[in-house]
Every structure is written in structure tokens, then in C-alpha cells.
């Protein structure tokens, strides 16, 4: 079960993160992060200069102390950077440990070709094997039900306590290893070899073992490396320029300057931001098969959505009561409600609810002794027989007409027209009669889920187009599309039409997302840039998609896209903040280096820092402590609000650009006030 509500950093995560911060100092690991690897090289050089002052410095005691202080601050900077990544990984590993408890070596009843059963370990099952799972037993591995029907407790995977019904055939035949059969029995054909099950993949992905850097992350990393190389060249050329100006700059000072100017803040947090993005999706009970999938969510331009189960509830619910000529509508409502009092279907319950909303005064207690007539495929109607002999029925037009004509009743002249008008709109007409008199029609329709119009409007604000796919006729599709507020629709849609729609959008340079659960959805899920399969769906759908929703809620794609947007915004905001930081550090260190030889440079010391040494040390300390200060923001993400790209850019530049400039000015000045007396005590 994925735990959605956990502490930001638990004691266990803190311990493993501190340990990980030291272990990651290994140069073989650090070289994967070029920016921080440069900082590590600087730390090693400063440490050598502290113990071997005659190597490059003037050999004075002050130079050794200064180099030692710089090396300590650089070491702390490295630890903070590694700690940020370790915290992100630790949160994932904590979830993985919970999942590992679910994975057990269970016994399986393997069915041989001759029908004989043998009991083997679940670890010995192979793809294609058939097993029998009875009530109270754990499903040994992923597979498809080929026979039987059962209620499955999937709480170990989804966290949802209510069992779900799975049966052979259709889109709900897929079962996951580690889940429990709570009723009946099923025969399952195993679909994965040991170590390759869905649970194994979840564990690997959640703990970060399979995380690959995303294209945007690689591109940003390339930019950071380029900036690092540029500043490295600047520092190298600064040394002879300083000598020419009769300014003596120690190697430790040059290293401090370089570390402050290269983008260490975002370099330290970049990996943590990516890991945290996957972590946020996972805590939302969606398993992303790669970081690329999460990132692609942030770039989505078009969403293709199934109507049934995504935009609508999928159950036809009572929407209106339409009386025939000569009948009072209140009488129709009363008899429609009475006929549905003992009907536990969604149609029956919704009829009762709608009747109550419209003011029906029927008291259910008055009809407890009445006999309920269940709907069957043969009679195509249901209803209730009262103790006084009155028969109330509701059902298809044909069935009710046959029912009343057999009893000498007449068919109202306007009935057929009203039935046909409802059918053309994609609704289901249920005709209501009392004995041999038809009172009217219950209008059933597939109801749009509440709040979807507002959510589609949120997506529209950030430039995402929504397209509804449905097998309904164009008239029904247009009605539902207008009610839901989607931007477009495809009526009488077949599986190949979905693929065609995706390809059409992609040829226009759009990033496309869609959801699905059936085998017929698999090609479209594979074609889409972001494909979210339902955990309740078929194995082929889950294999084709790059995300799996454990809760099987198709509308969750809306939230997943917002998480992807949040990931990109967080990365961009912290990059802006990091680069803006360098401006303040420039005004802190450059004047400090040159003021003694070039007094005119003092005009650039706008912060009024006390001495060259305190200015450099203060800037270096701020550069280190800003990293852990930003870890919570990197983990939780920048608050996301739907808005246009231009507004978002303006907002981020104002908050993280201007804030990134102002914050170091204040921070470095405060640190300088505290550090200057201490440096005086050390004689630096």
C-alpha cells in the first residue's frame, strides 16, 4: 500500500540520509553530478593547502587557517547537496519497504495439462502457467483470469479497503500478485516470470533503482555544466589579471569564488527535484514507469478522454420525468418512485432520489409489504405489486405496451414520439404504467461527474485541449460534450479512431495524454506520450502504458498532469533562484578581492561587508546553507496555479528571480556580521 500521508522526514529517513550524504562523497558517484564534482575537487585542493601551505600559498599560518576554513565550508556544502538527494531517495525507499512486506513467497496450486494440481512455490511459477486460487488465498503472481469470478482484496497494493470483483473476459480480468481472494475461486494464467511482476516493478521504481534522467533534466544538466566551464575559464583568467593589477589572490580564494559563482544550488537540488516528482505521483497512488513519463505530463497539450467512467459515471441515472398527455406529472413522479422503492440498481436508486428532490411525499414504510418484481432479460421490466392488487411497472416501451394491451389498455398517442426523442439524445426511456394505464417516462441518462467542467476550465487556462471519445451517436456526444465542457469530441469512436486522433495531434507537435483499461485501449496507450492504465484493467493495457493508476480512477489524469506541471515549474523556479543568487555573490566577493589594490572597487561593496576575508567566507557559508533551506521546496514542489505560460514566467521571475537576488544580499550581510568577529579571533 502506498502511504500518502507520511512525515516529511522521519527518523529512519534522517538516519539513512545522513549516512547516504557521506557515502555519496565517493568520486565515482560525485562525477555523475559535474557541478558538485567540481566543488569536491575544490574541497580536496583547499584541504591539501591547509596541511601543505608551502605547496602554493605563502606558507603563513593565516593562509593555512583560511584554506582549512574554506575546505570545511566546501565539505559541508557537499554534504548538504548529497543529503538533499538522499532525503528524496529515502522517502522512496520507505515506500518500497512497505511494498516489499506485501511480496511474500506463497504456495501456488499449479494446474497441469491433465487437470492435476500440484503445490509449488510462487517463485517457481513461470509465464503461461495456470494456477487455481481459492477463497482466503493470496494470488501468487500477476496474471489474467481465464475461468471463474471472485472478489479481490487489493488493499495491499492500492490502500482501498473495499474488495473489487474480477472475472474472466472483458476489461477486468487482470489480477496482481500479492492480492487476496476473499470470495469464490478463480483460475489464473500467469503473465510474468519471477522478479518481473507488477509489484517487483513498483518496488524497483519507487526506491529509485530504475530512475533514469529525463530529457529536460539532461538538457538542464548540460546547461549547468556549460556555466561551470565558463566560470572555470573566468577564474583561471582572473589570476593573471589580478597579478597584473598587483593583487595577490590565494588559490583558496579563487576556489571559493568559483564555487560561489557556479550554479551549485540547483546542481545540488536537481536530482532531488526529479526524484521528488516521481515520489509525489507515487503518493497519489499512480506508479510512473519512468521519470520521463512524469515530466511528459508537465508538457501535455492535448488530453484524450473516454466518456464512460471518466467524464460520466457510466451508470444511466434518472434525469427527468416526462408525463404523457392527460396525466399529471406529480402522479407520474409518485408511481415512478413507488415502482423503484425496492429496486437496488443505480437506475432505481436514482429514480427515488430524483423523486424526493422534486417533492414526492411517498412514505417507503407504507409499501414494505408490497411484492417486488425483479427485472429479467425476458420481461424487460420491473416493478411492484401492491397488497390491494394494483400492479406498477417500469420498463422498455415495447415491454410496457405489451403489458397494458394484454389488460385492455390503450397506448397514448404521444408516447412513441417522446420515447424516440429520448433515444436520439442517447438516453434510456423507462415507461411507467399502473395496471393498464401508461403515466409517462423516466428519462435515464449517463450523468456527467460533478466538478468536471471547472477542472476542464483549469486545464484550458494552461493551454491544454480536451477531447472526449465515445461510441455514442453524434447527437448524444454533442450533448455530453457541451455539458462536460470539453473542447472537442469524437462520436461513434472505435479503438483505431483513438490512435488516429493521437497521431493527428502529435503531427501538430502536441504532447498527448490518455487513459484506458481494456485490451483494445493498449495500442492507443502505447501511441500516446502519456498513457495511464487502470490497475483494474487488462495486463496488456498496463504493459502498453507508462503510468498505472492503482485506484483505477480515470479522472486522475487531470491531477497527474498538474503534478507534472508542478515538477517543471519547481525545477524552473529553483534554477532561476540559483542563477539569481550569483549576482549577489558577485557583489560580495569581487569587491573584496580587489578593493585593497584598487580602492575605486569599494563602490561595488554595496553590502558594506567588513573585510575581504569575511566577505568571501560569508558568501561561501550562504552558498552552503541555502541548499538545505530549499530541500522542503524541492520535495513538496512550488505551489501550482493554472495560468498562461507568460503569466507563469512573469510570476516566477518576480518571486524567484528578484527573490534570488535580494535573499543573498540580506543573508550574506547577516552572516558577515556574525563571522567577522570570529575571523578576528582566529587571526584570519
Report d(CA 275, CA 284) in Å as an integer: 14
Beta carbons of 552 and 536 less than 8 angstroms apart:
yes
Q: Please say whether the beta carbons of 591 and 608 come within 8 A.
A: no
CA distance 261 to 230: 10
Q: Which grid coordinates are listed for 633?
A: 521546496
**Whole-number Cα distances in Å, 493 to 149, 306, 501, 598, 611:** 30, 10, 10, 76, 74
Report yes or no: 90 and 638 within 8 Å, Cβ to Cβ.
no
How far, in Å, CA of 143 to CA of 175, rounded?
Answer: 6
Is the CB of residue 190 less than 8 Å from the CB of residue 143?
A: yes
The SS3 call for residue 198 is helix
Residue with C-alpha cell 500516446? Answer: 528
Cα–Cα distance for residue pair 264/227, rounded to 1 Å: 11
Q: Where are the alpha helices (DSSP H) in 245-263?
A: 251-261
Under 8 Å between Cβ of 109 and 117: yes
Q: Assign 119 to helix, strand or coil.
A: strand
The grid coordinates of residue 557 equal: 489524469
Task: Please name which of 174, 155, 281 lies closest in space to residue 517, comparing C-alpha atoms.
Answer: 174
Residue 344 marked as a ligand binder: no
Contact between 120 and 108 (Cβ < 8 Å): yes
In angstroms, the CA 87 to CA 276 distance is: 9
Residue 302 pairs in a beta bridge with: 465, 512
Q: Could you write out the three-class secondary structure of 420-433?
A: HHHHHCCCEEEEEE
Task: Tell me the DSSP string of 286-298.
Answer: EEES-HHHHHHHH
Phi, psi dihedrals of residue 226, rounded to the nearest 5°: -60, -45
For 354, residues 6+ apart whose C-beta sits below 8 A from its C-beta are 318, 319, 320, 321
Q: Which three cell numbers stand for residue 563?
A: 503534478
Q: 394: annotated binding-site residue?
A: yes
**Cα–chain-centroid distance for residue 60?**
57
130-to-25, 139, 170, 241, 538 alpha-carbon distances in Å? 49, 12, 19, 77, 17
Q: Give the whole-angstrom CA distance, residue 287 versus residue 267.
A: 26
Q: What are the φ/ψ torsions at residue 606 (nearest 5 degrees)?
A: -70, -15
Of 306, 446, 582, 672, the catalytic one is: 306
φ and ψ at residue 43, rounded to 5 degrees: -60, -45
320 given a catalytic annotation: no
Q: Is 357 annotated as a binding residue?
A: no
Q: Is there a contact between 27 and 9 (Cβ–Cβ < 8 Å)?
A: no
Binding site listing for ATP: 343, 347, 394
Among all residues, which ones are annotated catalytic? 306
Binding site listing for Mg(2+): 517, 521
Amino acid at each position: 500500500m502506498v502511504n500518502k500521508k507520511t512525515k516529511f522526514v522521519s527518523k529512519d529517513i534522517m538516519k539513512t540520509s545522513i549516512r547516504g550524504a557521506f557515502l555519496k562523497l565517493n568520486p565515482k558517484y560525485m562525477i555523475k553530478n559535474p557541478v558538485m564534482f567540481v566543488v569536491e575537487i575544490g574541497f580536496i585542493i583547499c584541504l591539501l593547502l591547509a596541511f601543505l601551505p608551502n605547496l602554493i600559498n605563502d606558507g603563513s599560518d593565516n593562509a593555512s587557517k583560511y584554506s582549512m576554513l574554506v575546505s570545511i565550508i566546501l565539505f559541508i556544502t557537499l554534504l548538504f547537496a548529497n543529503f538533499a538527494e538522499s532525503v528524496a531517495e529515502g522517502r522512496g525507499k520507505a515506500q518500497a519497504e512497505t511494498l516489499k512486506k506485501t511480496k511474500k513467497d506463497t504456495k501456488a496450486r499449479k494446474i497441469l495439462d491433465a487437470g492435476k494440481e500440484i503445490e509449488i512455490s510462487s517463485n517457481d511459477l513461470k509465464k503461461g502457467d495456470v494456477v487455481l486460487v481459492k477463497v482466503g488465498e493470496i494470488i501468487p503472481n500477476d496474471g489474467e483470469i481465464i475461468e471463474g469470478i471472485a472478489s479481490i482484496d487489493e488493499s495491499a497494493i492500492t490502500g482501498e479497503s473495499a474488495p473489487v470483483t474480477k472475472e474472466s473476459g472483458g476489461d477486468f480480468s487482470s489480477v496482481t500478485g500479492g492480492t487476496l481472494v476473499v470470495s469464490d475461486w478463480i483460475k489464473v494464467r500467469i503473465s510474468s516470470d519471477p522478479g518481473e511482476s507488477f509489484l517487483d516493478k513498483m518496488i524497483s521504481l519507487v526506491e529509485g533503482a530504475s530512475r533514469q534522467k529525463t530529457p529536460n533534466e539532461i538538457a538542464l544538466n548540460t546547461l549547468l555544466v556549460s556555466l561551470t566551464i565558463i566560470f572555470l575559464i573566468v577564474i583561471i583568467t582572473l589570476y593573471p589579471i589580478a597579478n597584473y593589477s598587483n593583487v595577490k589572490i590565494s588559490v583558496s580564494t579563487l576556489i571559493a569564488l568559483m564555487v560561489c559563482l557556479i550554479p551549485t544550488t540547483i546542481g545540488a537540488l536537481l536530482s532531488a527535484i526529479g526524484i521528488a516528482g516521481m515520489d509525489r505521483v507515487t503518493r497519489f497512488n499512480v506508479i510512473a514507469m519512468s521519470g520521463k513519463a512524469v515530466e511528459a505530463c508537465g508538457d501535455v497539450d492535448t488530453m484524450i478522454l473516454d466518456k464512460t467512467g471518466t467524464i460520466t459515471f457510466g451508470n444511466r441515472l434518472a434525469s427527468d420525468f416526462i408525463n404523457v398527455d392527460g396525466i399529471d406529472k406529480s402522479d407520474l413522479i409518485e408511481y415512478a418512485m413507488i415502482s423503484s422503492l425496492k429496486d437496488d440498481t443505480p437506475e432505481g436508486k436514482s429514480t427515488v432520489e430524483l423523486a424526493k428532490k422534486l417533492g414526492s411525499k411517498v412514505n417507503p414504510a407504507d409499501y414494505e409489504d408490497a411484492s417486488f418484481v425483479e427485472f429479467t432479460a425476458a420481461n424487460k421490466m420491473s416493478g411492484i405489486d401492491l397488497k390491494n392488487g394494483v400492479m406498477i411497472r417500469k420498463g422498455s416501451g415495447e415491454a410496457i405496451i405489451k403489458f397494458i394491451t394484454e389488460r385492455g389498455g390503450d397506448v397514448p398517442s404521444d408516447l412513441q414520439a417522446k420515447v424516440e426523442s429520448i433515444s436520439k439524445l442517447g438516453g434510456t426511456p423507462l415507461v411507467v404504467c399502473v395496471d393498464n394505464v401508461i403515466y409517462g417516462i423516466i428519462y435515464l441518462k449517463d450523468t456527467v461527474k460533478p466538478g468536471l467542467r471547472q477542472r476542464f476550465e483549469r486545464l484550458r487556462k494552461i493551454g491544454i485541449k480536451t477531447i472526449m471519445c465515445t461510441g455514442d451517436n453524434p447527437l448524444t456526444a454533442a450533448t455530453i460534450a457541451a455539458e462536460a465542457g470539453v473542447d472537442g469530441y469524437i462520436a461513434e469512436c472505435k479503438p483505431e479512431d483513438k490512435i488516429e486522433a493521437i497521431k493527428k495531434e502529435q503531427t501538430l507537435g502536441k504532447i498527448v495524454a490518455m487513459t484506458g483499461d481494456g485490451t483494445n485501449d493498449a495500442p492507443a496507450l502505447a501511441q500516446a506520450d502519456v498513457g495511464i492504465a487502470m490497475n483494474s484493467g487488462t495486463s496488456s493495457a498496463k504493459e502498453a502504458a507508462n503510468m498505472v493508476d492503482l485506484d483505477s480512477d480515470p479522472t486522475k489524469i487531470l491531477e497527474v498532469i498538474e503534478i507534472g506541471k508542478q515538477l517543471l515549474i519547481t525545477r524552473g523556479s529553483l534554477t532561476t533562484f540559483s542563477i539569481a543568487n550569483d549576482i549577489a555573490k558577485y557583489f560580495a566577493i569581487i569587491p573584496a578581492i580587489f578593493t585593497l589594490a584598487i580602492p575605486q572597487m569599494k563602490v561595488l561593496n554595496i553590502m558594506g561587508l567588513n573585510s575581504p576575508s569575511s566577505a568571501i567566507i560569508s558568501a561561501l557559508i550562504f552558498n552552503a546553507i541555502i541548499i538545505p533551506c530549499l530541500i522542503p521546496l524541492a520535495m513538496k514542489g512550488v505551489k501550482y496555479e493554472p495560468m498562461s505560460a507568460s503569466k507563469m514566467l512573469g510570476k516566477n521571475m518576480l518571486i524567484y528571480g528578484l527573490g534570488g537576488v535580494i535573499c543573498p544580499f540580506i543573508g550574506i550581510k547577516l552572516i558577515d556580521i556574525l563571522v567577522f568577529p570570529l575571523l578576528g579571533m582566529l587571526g584570519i
